[in-house]
Amino acid sequence: LTQPQTDIRLPITLTLNKIVVNRAIEVKDIFYDYDKYAIRPDAAVRLDTLVQTLQDNPKINIELSSHTDQRGKDAYNLKLSQQRAEAAVAYIVSKGIEKSRITAKGYGETRPIVKDPKSEADYQRNRRTEFKVTRIDK
């Protein structure tokens, strides 16, 4: 009989990014259709990555912030961005993350990435979601 091998060693490389409290981290490619707050299928795939991060780091709490482009009235955009943030939070909660760990915040058009948009792609870039770690429990 052959003895089973119980000690297998494989070389691996891990790249870890330091978690910094209150630093915004854009969740890449979570974009919204113009004047909409529904989570698109392509955005759901990206939000799943954030869900995994939250599952892997159960002691972190986050603020999930959403943004609009500069078209439309300020008050309307603020409300729309809040709806986007809440839709993203609802999606994450539906995947098993406790709602108490996430705060939804809409910033409207107040924090554009592209300050002087010239194309639809520029406007799309401003319709985004970011998150920042607000607390790390000990």
- Whether 103 has a pLDDT exceeding 60, the answer reads yes
Q: Tens of pLDDT along 49-100?
A: 889 989 988 999 999 999 998 998 999 999 999 999 999 999 999 999 999 9
Closest CA relative to residue 48, chosen from 100, 98, 88, 84: 88
Q: Tens of pLDDT along 113-126?
A: 999 989 988 898 88
SS3 29: strand
Closest CA relative to residue 68, chosen from 118, 115, 110, 26: 110
The model's pTM: 0.76
Higher pLDDT, residue 49 or 24: 49
- At 130, the pLDDT band (50, 70, 90 cuts) reads confident
- Whether 105 has a pLDDT exceeding 60, the answer reads yes
Strand 102-106 versus strand 24-31 pairing type: unpaired
Cα–Cα distances in angstroms (integers) from residue 43 to residues 9, 23, 27, in the given order: 37, 21, 9
User: Rounded to the nearest 5 degrees, what angle is found at the Cα of 53, between the Cα atoms of 96 and 22?
Assistant: 110
Task: Classify domain 24-136 at the CATH superfamily level.
Answer: OmpA-like domain (3.30.1330.60)
Domain boundaries, the chain: 24-136
Nearby residues of 113 by Cβ (< 8 Å), 6 or more positions away: 125, 126, 128
SS3 75: helix
